[in-house]
Structure 1
């Protein structure tokens, strides 16, 4: 018979055990120290100026929203807030930048929804629309407005839909550009009404509005801010706004929902956000200040004049809105076969 093998016993030297235990204690101590440092930092936050980046150049809609908002936030946070434009790829450059900064609460982003709800469906981006960021709070919403020349035969959205069904290859609409918020408004109307309208993209809202007032394009989905002046001076007729509620800047203009397209919601919006990994105490401090700023009547009025209705939301509500819009616009982009320029 072959010999029976005995049980092998390995003894770990005491020195090795001590080294392993020391490493574990060191890891735990470092983790505790890091957590304590983060907590201590959050307790004294903010103790220096805060930088808020924008995805567009100065003088645009983002800048117009940021300036009055930061003036209200500064005394609530007790620090100066420096606004810094980082334009490029419709907010994508700023989104990529903010996803990589330190999560210490001193570099934030006043962002519009595009980089998180539409851009990921149009091209590859370097960030995740939710997980790469800390979403602090939604600030305000602005829809598109559907307008025609005052001499147009179209008195209502129903007139447009009826004409497009009767002559499906005849009618078109203009916007400020491909894959912009107003383009999506037009495509959403096409989707829910079942009509065909040719999209005519312009290189910006100004030339599009000029052509509409010159009666060179049948209809336009425009920003509210660009339409306020011409509307008040009688140079255009407004048919509907694309937001769920009537706009404060156009209280007499109905929503698409009111006109029978239930649940129609095509709104752009702004939110305050930071990089992923921000301490809960920092988020709470900023969210509380943001919600308090939202109670300022003067700020609400300034937003109203911009065509951006104040709608301050909690972090959780903001995340849910992004999820909903990301799914909705993904379907619209796929169904309409929209491609980035």
Structure 2
């Protein structure tokens, strides 16, 4: 009887003995630096949102979070790589293009945006600004539309690539204004801006963080904002809606994603940290300086937002007949 009691006591104690190491394992995540992949070239609004987020996550999680730009293939290369990552320390910046556009312009994607990733948090929305080079004879959207209609196909606009937010934004504007402007795709916002500033491009739609400095310096002219209301950084620039196209709205957005393989306790810890990050003063100030609007929603909110955006852009892409490069 005593030996039986001892065996029962040991069996009952076994789960309790195992719990501390398991709890420690969950609590110790992250156990090494975290790679935060940005599927675009440096220089765009994605860079600003990613670095603001990485700085706050580094402080909150106790491990370095470093940004790794991996452009190419309209974001497909980076998304595919991170989808397969199983080291528990690789994240990616989700985007309107990779999550809501690519599924409808590519016949076959190397990743499934809804199955291969865990939505963590919608980080920020970025106003899309419509700009022209100062040599273009248009002071506002009305004049640009008139110029485009007078010379159909003579004006061009650049984007960070087929299916990028800038491509969508300008195609959306072309549909609303019934104009024909030639699209010139680049491999990232940085190279696109180089040609726009040099006057080799006439126009573009770019996220506010990447071009506000050039607008304020007079190197680019903003003819309209895609937001519902004017932005504080450019109070004298009217929205597209104000200039004759009611209900027009276009913003870029960025969110934090993890591979589907990330352990749920780690995902929950990361989500809480991401939500806090978008409320920290340093992040708020940094984003506000570039007109980015912090969000910091829950994983459930972000998942629902992605589904909503997929339905919205599926219709726009079908109408504009956007195809991959």
What residue in structure 1 maps to residue 176 of structure 2? 192
Taking a change above 3 Å as real, the CA distance of residues 318 and 163 of structure 1, as seen in their structure-2 partners, is same
Residues in 2 aligned to 1:175 and 1:38: alpha-carbon distance in whole angstroms = 54
What residue in structure 2 maps to residue 16 of structure 1? none
What residue in structure 2 maps to residue 68 of structure 1? 52
Q: Residue 133 of structure 1: CA displacement?
A: 0.9
Please say if residues 142 and 243 of structure 1, whose CA atoms lie closer than 8 Å, have aligned partners that are also in contact: no
Tell me the TM-score normalised to structure 1 length: 0.76
What residue in structure 1 maps to residue 279 of structure 2? 295
Q: Does 1:285 align with 2:258?
A: no
After superposition, give the CA deviation of every residue in 1:238-270 in whole Å (9 maximum; x if it has no partner): 111224454454344333244443443333222
Q: Does 1:101 align with 2:85?
A: yes
For residues 146-161 of structure 1, what are the structure 2 equivalents within 5 Å?
146-150=130-134, 152-161=136-145
- Which structure has the bigger radius of gyration? 1
Please say if residues 53 and 86 of structure 1, whose CA atoms lie closer than 8 Å, have aligned partners that are also in contact: no
Secondary structure of 2:84's aligned partner: coil
Residues in 2 aligned to 1:89 and 1:216: alpha-carbon distance in whole angstroms = 24
Secondary structure of 1:99's aligned partner: helix
What residue in structure 1 maps to residue 304 of structure 2? 320
Residues in 2 aligned to 1:213 and 1:187: alpha-carbon distance in whole angstroms = 21
Residues in 1 aligned to 2:26 and 2:194: alpha-carbon distance in whole angstroms = 53
Where does the alignment leave 5 or more consecutive residues of structure 1 unmatched?
1-31
Give runs of ≥4 in structure 1 deviating > 6 Å: 36-39
What residue in structure 2 maps to residue 330 of structure 1? 314
Q: Residue 297 of structure 1: CA displacement?
A: 1.9
Pick from 243, 250, 260: which aligns with 1:276?
260
Q: Residue 80 of structure 1: CA displacement?
A: 2.9
Aligned length: 305
Residues in 1 aligned to 2:70 and 2:186: alpha-carbon distance in whole angstroms = 23
Secondary structure of 2:112's aligned partner: coil
Which stretch has the larger CA shift, 38-47 or 195-204? Answer: 38-47
Pick from 32, 35, 41: which aligns with 1:49?
32
CA RMSD of aligned residues (A): 3.2
